[in-house]
Amino acid sequence: MGFLWTIIFMAVVGAAIGAVTNHLAIKMLFRPHEAKYIGSWRVPFTPGLIPKRRDELAKQLGITVIKHLLTPDIFKKKYFNDSMKMKANDFIVKQLNKNIFQSEKTIDDWLKLAGIESVPSLVNEKIEEQVDIQFNRVRTKFEKETIRQIAPLDWQLKADSKVGDIVSYILQKGEEFFQSDEGKSTVKKLIDDFLSTKGTLGNMIQMFMGESSSLAGKVQPEILKFLRAPGTKVMLENIVQNEWEKLKDRPLAEMMEGFDFDPLVVNVKAYLKEQLAIEERLNYSLNHYFPGASDWLETQMVPKVTNFAFVEAEAKLEEVLRKMKLEEMVKEQVDSFPVARLEDIVLGISKREFKMITVLGGVLGGLIGIIQGLIVFLTS
């Protein structure tokens, strides 16, 4: 009976010692939080292990986070996949449609959101200003330069080549005119007017030559013969060509002298304002001007932008993580934690495991006590 009590006693004592020492060892990981002194002598094992090695712990946690928890491969696997790309694409399309392209806000509303007020007045003022500027530039250019200087060379060459056509057209129309009854009447009137201005000489000519109608009948074929003669065309072409060359060297301002530009400027301004109709155009939404924007966004723009963003982000991921200096951030955060908070974090994560260590210490202590009891019994 004494043997049994000895074994039980030693098992209980061993279990108590094992449990208490393990519990104490766990507590000594954190306690005391600060070093304790008796005079100038620091009490051994103060502060606890974790507070004492806090800097090393912070550094190792930072290294662990970078090398094992927040690695580029983990980010790529988690965020750079087809599923995430599709979600990002759908989100962007939805937000753009909802807030911009399918919104009921007018262009004027968007401009006001951007802090731009009275746009129609500003645009109309700008139109008037630009029209005045451009007309003044043209007017100044006309005052100083000639047709030869202003007109492009190919225009001038084309105009030169048309001189023959113009002369041919004039001769053709002249011939048609003098062959018509109106032409005959005109010739007769010209003869009558000519003879009437010559007084007695005119009467004598008319007496010898006959009536003006007879004279007109004789003059008309000669006029037609003159118009049809090859030399006539050559002569007229030379005259027109010479006059055209002189015209090209005259300042435009000289030819346009007395021309009032102001009514033209006013009409141009009014026409531009009417055609632009800025105030009316600003009262429509974006969807009015871009009805196919939603489909274009969904099928063209957003997929390309999203794909480009994912490719670039994945390529720059390691560099970004390196520049973020996560290791230093973790170290700084751990260094800034109060020791009590560190203790709460660790115990909150491993509380059950620590209890099992205490229990295991008690169990092992109890077994050691039983073994010791048996050894004592066998050696006594």
Residue 84 lies in a domain: no
The residue from 197, 223, 250 where one domain ends is: 250
- Residue-wise over 67-99: b if at least 16 C-beta within 10 A, else e? eeeeebeebeeeeeeeeebeebbeebbeebbee
* pLDDT tens-place string over residues 320-357: 777 777 777 777 776 666 666 666 666 665 667 667 77
Domain count, the chain: 2
Residue 324 lies in a domain: yes
Give dist(CA 51, CA 343) in Å, integer.
10
Give dist(CA 359, CA 363) in Å, integer.
6
Residue 224 lies in a domain: yes
- Would you give per-residue pLDDT tens digits along the chain (380 residues)? 566 777 777 777 777 877 778 777 767 666 665 666 676 777 666 666 666 666 776 677 777 777 777 777 777 788 888 888 888 888 888 888 888 888 888 888 888 888 888 888 888 888 888 888 888 887 777 777 777 777 778 887 888 888 888 888 888 888 888 788 787 777 777 766 655 665 555 455 554 454 555 666 677 777 778 878 888 888 888 888 888 888 888 777 776 666 677 788 888 888 888 888 888 888 888 788 888 878 888 888 888 988 888 888 888 877 877 777 777 777 777 666 666 666 666 666 566 766 777 777 777 777 877 777 777 767 76
End-to-end CA distance of the chain: 15
pLDDT of 202 reads 46
In angstroms, how far apart are the furthest CA atoms of the chain?
188
DSSP 122-148: HHHHHHHHHHHHHHHHHHHHHHH-BHH
**Burial category of 289 from C-beta neighbours within 10 Å (exposed 0-12, middle 13-18, buried 19 and up):** exposed
**Inter-residue contact 42 to 35 (CB < 8 Å):** yes
**Which tokens is 200 given?**
């007695």
CA 282 to centroid of chain Cα atoms: 21
The residue from 250, 276, 305 where one domain ends is: 250
The residue from 226, 250, 274 where one domain ends is: 250
Query: Across the chain, how many H-helices and E-strands are there?
Result: 22, 2
Residue 49 lies in a domain: yes
Q: Structural domain of residue 331, as residue ranges?
A: 2-79+314-379
* pLDDT tens-place string over residues 17-46: 777 787 777 676 666 656 666 767 776 666
**Inter-residue contact 107 to 282 (CB < 8 Å):** yes
